[in-house]
Amino acid sequence: MQNIQVLTLKLGTQTFGIDASKIHSICPPSPISKIPLSPSYIAGCSNIKGNIVTMIDMQEKMKTLQTGNENYLSIIIKYDGDLYSLMFNAVLDVMSINTNNLEKSDEGLYEGVLKGVYLNAQTPIMIIDPNLFFRSLIDC
């Protein structure tokens, strides 16, 4: 039994979560410079707190329903020595989740990027495994 603190995030109409210990920082929107010939889910790069950060459009990457909400927050994660921003619509809460209570995720749209799904009373929370997520970007 292992409890983890999970930051829950809104993306379109869905709720995702990331282990809070994997998050470097949370930042407000910043100007984004486009990167020519990059995949559609790469929004560009931005200077955040003096660091050049690759901006990943999570609605595009996770193929979630677009809500027309262009607002985003940058969830900064360090992976393999580089900083990446995962762009989410909103931060919801921090909750403690027992990893034994995670359901296995179905194969399909989010295959290979989720640690599992936490079923709570309000809505399922899809827990993103940052290592799997970034490996999936490299494999594309």
Q: Which residues contact 122 (CB under 8 A, 6 or more apart)?
A: none
- Please name each of the domains of the chain with its CATH number: 3-139 (2.40.50.180)
pTM of the model: 0.89
**What are the tokens at 70?**
């262009």
CA nearest neighbour of 7 among 107, 101, 130: 130
Looking at residue 107, its pLDDT comes to: 60
CA nearest neighbour of 40 among 68, 67, 60: 60
Looking at residue 123, its pLDDT comes to: 87
Q: How far apart are CA 20 and CA 7, in angstroms?
A: 5
The DSSP annotation for the chain comes to --EEEEEEEEETTEEEEEEGGGEEEEE-----B--TT--TTEEEEEEETTEEEEEEEHHHHTTPPP-S----EEEEEEETTEEEEEEESEEEEEEEEEGGGEEPPPSSTTTTTEEEEEE-SS-EEEEE-HHHHHHHHHH-
83 and 51 in contact (C-beta within 8 Å)?
yes
Looking at residue 127, its pLDDT comes to: 94
21 and 32 in contact (C-beta within 8 Å)?
no
Digitized pLDDT (tens) for each residue of the chain, 140 residues in all? 699 999 999 998 899 999 999 999 999 999 999 999 999 999 999 999 999 999 999 988 887 766 555 688 999 999 999 999 999 999 999 999 999 999 887 766 677 899 999 998 778 999 999 999 999 887 65
